[in-house]
Amino acid sequence: MENVNIKIDGIEISVPKNYTVLQAARMANIHIPTLCYLEGINEIGACRICVVEIKGARSLQAACVYPVNEGMEVYTNSPAVRKARKANLELILSNHDRKCLTCVRNRNCELQKLAEEFGIKEIRYDGSSDPVFALDQSSPSLVRDNNKCVLCRRCVAACANQAVSVIGLKNRGFVTEVGCAFDAPIFETSCIYCGQCIVSCPVGALYEKDDIPKVQKAIDNTEKHVVVQTAPAVRAALGEEFGLPMGTPVTGKMVAALRRLGFDKVFDTDTSADLTIMEEGTEFIERFTKGENLPLITSCSPGWVKFCEHNYPEFINNLSSAKSPMEMFGAVIKSYYAEKQNIAKENIYSVAIMPCTSKKFEAQRPEHSSSGAQDIDASLTTRELARMIKEAGIQFNELPDEEFDSPFGEATGAGVIFGATGGVMEAAIRTVYELLEGKPLENLEIAPIRGMDGVKEAELTIAGKKVKVAVCHGTKNAKALLERVKAGEKYDFIEVMACPGGCVNGGGQPIVSSEDRVGKDIRVERAKALYAEDRSAALRKSHENPVIQTLYDTYFEKPCSHKAHELLHTTYTKRNKF
């Protein structure tokens, strides 16, 4: 790429000619504040917080969208720049519901940080800061509070980036709001509850539905046996809520914290991820052998499943009927576990800690009650778990490492990598290969389907037959891949994760500010923790898990048996698109 020479605050630098002023400044370690900007998602210059002075220009320019050119001179801290930025911020604050102390984003709010950075002591402008918008609490997964909204459009861009696009701007002036067509509540739209709008929002205008009170009530009820399971991606991100570096694995401390919160049993969702591979892998072998309903498409991601139900109902028969690991575990807990422990299933309260807001929707789907009760009683996000730990006064970083409870604390490395894009496919290949070949797979790490490319492909030879697989993450990429399938491209097995990067970047994970994202890919950093745990695992293939072997020997008989189908498999629903 050809470079140009520019000067920022008197510092001469050479930068790629396709850079914006903001990118050039960051390359030179010069700070320019932003609010609406979210790298790679929202770059529209709407908030005007990043304005700079360009020598020769008649007005101030938004650094996030203004291109560099040869010989340009930029001033980021001139009197005119400081005055404009502060005025713009005060105007935004004038129309903001400033109940910061009770806001879910208190101390983790980009607007709050800017107010401190700019030294805002009072608001000189009269806006309409009193609440004028009703909360949209129609969804089981998320809440929308437009009284906190700063109209940055980051949520709108994130929704469009997912090829969902159910929200946009409406009205003018003080009553401008982000909303759905025809003033419909979010529950009536094609929203997939992936939560990418939440992790993109710089303020508290979007947040997950709070299920902490009902979980706490169950824990406090001495007649309830409260069981908790934790998804693999949670351990890779929870530490961020307690100041630990991104990607720090905190499995042992997480288990210790959950015990101190009062859960009766702490289990690992990775165990049921191994169970999922046995069911889904066997299902693939059956379909591949018969040549029926191919490609088989994974069904672990509830946001993806809902996206398919709304937008591609013609592919519903291609979805694996295997439940997600969370739902499989819920069914096992209220059937096998209840029987073995001699506990009435109505006295078991099953909680899941997930990196995903869409799991709240999945938990209440009527299809997931095969045990005779709702398989999962409550699904909490990683952020909700962090709030529970903080509210209980637990010193997380000082906790000793503890192990999961038996029998569902033993898992393989294959179960761990479910949290990263490509992980489900890699885990499935490890097992499918050995079941069909009857010999060990030499290289367990399938490089072509790792990484953050939107769509990844590989062609494998298994038992003398060619198997073509594809992996995609983010529903925008899923849409592109499905359109290729509709156009005639042939695949045998496809993995889809709704969230970009997979569960490690789920809508329920710790929120990372736009500035903290600069120079690092949070998806990659968190995934490293999962791959490291996989490499150090004693067992790395799902079919080698002794707990899973016992489950089949004593309860399910074999993968995809009649009983397994009753408890571990599900159905899907064609939904209207809106």
pLDDT of amino acid 123: 87
Position 131 scores a pLDDT of 67
With beta carbons less than 8 A apart as the criterion, state whether 365 and 217 touch: no
How far, in whole angstroms, is CA 83 from its chain's centroid? 38
CA distances from 321 to 49, 287, 402 (A): 49, 12, 35
| Mean pLDDT for back-to-back runs of 10 residues, the chain (578 residues) | 93 96 96 96 96 95 97 96 96 92 96 96 79 91 96 98 96 89 95 98 98 98 97 97 96 98 98 97 95 95 98 98 97 96 96 98 94 92 98 98 94 95 96 93 91 96 94 98 97 98 98 92 96 95 96 96 96 92
> 213-568: which CATH number, 3.30.200.20, 3.40.50.1780, 3.30.1380.10, 2.102.10.10?
3.40.50.1780
Q: What separation in angstroms does the CA of 130 have from each of 103, 126, 435? A: 15, 11, 63
- The Cα–Cα gap between 57 and 69 comes to 13
Each domain of the chain, given as residue ranges in start order, spans 3-93, 123-208, 213-568
- Give the separation between CA 265 and CA 226, rounded to whole angstroms: 7
Which are the catalytic amino acids?
280, 283, 300, 320, 359, 362, 367, 503
pLDDT given at position 174: 80
Check if the beta carbon of residue 261 is closer than 8 Å to that of residue 281. Answer: no
- Around 188, how many Cα atoms within 13 Å sit in the side-chain half-sphere? 8
Please tell us whether the domain made up of 123-208 is placed in CATH 3.30.70.20.
Answer: yes
CA–CA dist 165, 42 (Å, integer): 14
Which amino acid is present at 447? A
pTM: 0.95
Q: What is the DSSP string of 527-578?
A: HHHHHHHHHH-S--SGGG-HHHHHHIIIII-STT-HHHHHHHB---------
Coil, helix or strand for 15?
strand
Q: Are the C-beta atoms of 337 and 573 separated by less than 8 Å?
A: no
Give Cα separations from 351 to 45, 212, 281, 421, 422 (angstroms).
42, 10, 26, 24, 26
Residue 214 burial (10 A CB sphere; 0-12, 13-18, 19+): middle
| pLDDT at res. 371 | 78
Structurally, at CATH architecture level, domain 3-93 sits in: Roll (3.10)
